[in-house]
A and B are shown apart, each in its own frame.
Chain A
């Protein structure tokens, strides 16, 4: 029975998938048949805002970028604690409110420390 229910639920998804694939296939095939084609060599280069691409695709990012990314991960994910807190705030006690303030304060202190250390400075001497 649950399996039947599962299938029933997904019937619509399945149909949508088929219709979607059908539409795209028709469009591609029709374009192939109807549209005029040019065999220009430049067509095979990758498109970058209309400029001629220079150098290899595997560009190196600056290491500084990774430091930002690492900091971002931390502050981004720590926010996950805010959601359950926000949902239950009305019923929770006053302590819960102040505990979250303390938590945000700790995060803020971490950010301030990174700032003071110059991690957020892109052009360090």
Chain B
């Protein structure tokens, strides 16, 4: 049975190392109760960075594990991407977690486990492996969202996320079973072969399967009309987890979609392209419009992220090698900008305990560095020149335009302008409004938070001013998908 299959476990060393890191952190939490709990965060972050470095050693490999997991530049790209995100999140939650939770070890362990799931989603070339990875990511996130055991909002957000997530997985699975039925395989490459010569009998089953798969994945990346869980989960979660939800879980969803649609379903492009284009349009419009009336910063970022998902879905609808590249570029730009915004939100919440937009008043006087980072990152999300968001959005819109989706681009540019309005609302609080009475003093921002915010801001500017390096990396990463 196993003959002819490549069972080279050394390809999976980064994942094994991550598992080892999980065990180490849980063990430390359990057997070294005297240790300061913030150290767990630093160890986790250091371990993650080390694993990222190890994964870089796999650049230029093109090999597979038993045909189900592929280690190529695409996988390496996402390994580094997810590991870096998780490291930033671990650092950002260090102080808060040590203060609030009795079992911080499990918190970091879950973050690392979900990272393994996210990597698996990008690396797998087989439906079952993709599904298991998706669930590993999702389950860890359900628990993380509801991690504040004694906070009713957190529990509620977690339960809603879980119920809708489980519902979406069931849809996704049923779609997979139909696709398996008509193609006789769960391997992407064989599905593509199976779909090449469709028999008339199965046309409806295939469409049904595609609709269900798009629905299931739509839930996971929070596309309209399957976005209902997003604002609740975002508001209920602990702020660093909100940031994590917005980046890793979305990026992993897109990593999976990109591979699945380019490797397995490319031959029936016309059958799913219109579905995703429609969803993308609805997502951009609704996400950005509803964001206008939010007053909680986490809910606003939830709707803003829904709007961003709409832009990214355009790339999937118009899938070819150019849009795939543009999608990865935009994912990176979005990740860095979004993280920068959230670092500011987390730092502010740590110091003031507040997360309404109106509570950001007077940030320029009270924490100037954070205020400037917030401004830069929000401008980047809105897509203003100089910042990462402009370059990445420009590349994305350009590549989708070239594929002939003019109406989508019209919607995308209009909604981008709308988004500027609500981003400016936050900045008005931070820069124009004076601090409340008796709260004018400077806040003692921890060095770690200032450092993280500044580092991410450098990233935003770097991508905005010199995107060529990112383009080169992304080109290598997507080339393997389109041969």
The answer on a CB contact under 8 Å between A116 and B30 is yes
B2 sits at the interface (CB 8 A): yes
* A26 in contact (CB, < 8 A): no
The reply to whether A93 and B2 contact each other, CB–CB distance below 8 Å, is yes
A95 touches B30 (CB 8 A): no
Separation of A113 and B30 alpha carbons in the complex (Å):
9
Partner of A95, one of B7, B23, B26: B7
- Map CB proximity to A onto B19-50 as digits: 1 under 8 Å, 0 otherwise: 00001001000100000000000000000000
Q: On chain A, which size bracket covers the interface?
A: under 10
The complex places the Cα of A91 from the Cα of B30 at a distance, in Å, of 41
Is B26 touching A113 in the complex (CB atoms < 8 A)? yes
A92 at the interface (CB under 8 A from B): yes
Chain A nearest CB from B195 CB (Å) reads: 29
Inter-chain CA distance A86–B1, complex, in Å, is 16
Q: In this complex, what residue of A is CB-closest to B2?
A: A93
Q: How large is the interface on B (under 10, 10 to 19, 20 to 34, 35 or more residues)?
A: under 10
Measured CB to CB, the closest approach of chain A to B44, in angstroms, equals: 18
- A92 and B1: CB pair below 8 A? yes
Contacts of B26 in A (CB 8 A): 113
Measured between beta carbons, the chain B residues less than 8 angstroms from A116 are: 30
- Tell me, rounded to whole Å, the shortest Cβ–Cβ distance linking A98 to chain B: 12
**Min CB–CB distance B10 → chain A (angstroms):** 15
* Bound form: Cα–Cα A92–B7 in Å: 15
What 0/1 pattern do residues 94 to 125 of A give for CB contact below 8 A with B? Answer: 01000000000000010001001100000000
Nearest-Cβ distance from residue A72 to partner chain B, whole angstroms: 18
Residues of A within 8 A of B1 (CB): 91-93
Q: How far, in Å, is A64 (CB) from chain B's closest CB? A: 16
Chain B residues whose CB sits within 8 angstroms of the CB of A113 once the complex forms: 26, 30
Residue numbers in B under 8 Å from A95 (CB-CB): 2, 7
Chain B residue at minimal CB-CB distance from A93: B2
B23: chain A residues within 8 A (beta carbon):
109
In the assembled complex, the CB of B29 is this many whole angstroms from the nearest CB of chain A, namely 10
Q: How far is the CA of A21 from the CA of B23 in the complex (A)?
A: 59
Closest residue on chain A to residue B1 by CB atoms: A92
* Least CB separation from A92: chain B residue: B1
- For residue A92, which residues in chain B have a CB less than 8 angstroms away from its CB? 1
CB under 8 Å from chain A, chain B span 1-15 = 1-2, 7
A21 CB to closest chain B CB (Å) equals: 38
What residues of A have a CB within 8 angstroms of the CB of B30 in the complex?
113, 116-117
Closest A residue by C-beta to B3: A93
Contacts of A91 in B (CB 8 A): 1
CA distance A117 to B23 in the complex (A): 15
Give Cα distance in the complex from A95 to B30, angstroms.
Answer: 32
Closest chain A residue to B31 by CB distance?
A116
- A78-98 interface bits toward B, Cβ cutoff 8 Å, 1 = contact, 0 = none: 000000000000011101000
Chain B interface (Cβ < 8 Å from any Cβ of A): 1-2, 7, 23, 26, 30
**Which 5 residue pairs across A and B have the least CB separation, nearest first?**
A93-B2, A116-B30, A113-B26, A95-B2, A95-B7
Hey, which bits of chain A sit against chain B, CB under 8 A? 91-93, 95, 109, 113, 116-117
Identify 7 new A-B residue pairs, CB closer than 8 A, beyond the known A91-B1, A93-B1, A93-B2: A92-B1, A95-B2, A95-B7, A109-B23, A113-B26, A116-B30, A117-B30
Q: List 11 A-B contacts (CB under 8 A).
A: A91-B1, A92-B1, A93-B1, A93-B2, A95-B2, A95-B7, A109-B23, A113-B26, A113-B30, A116-B30, A117-B30
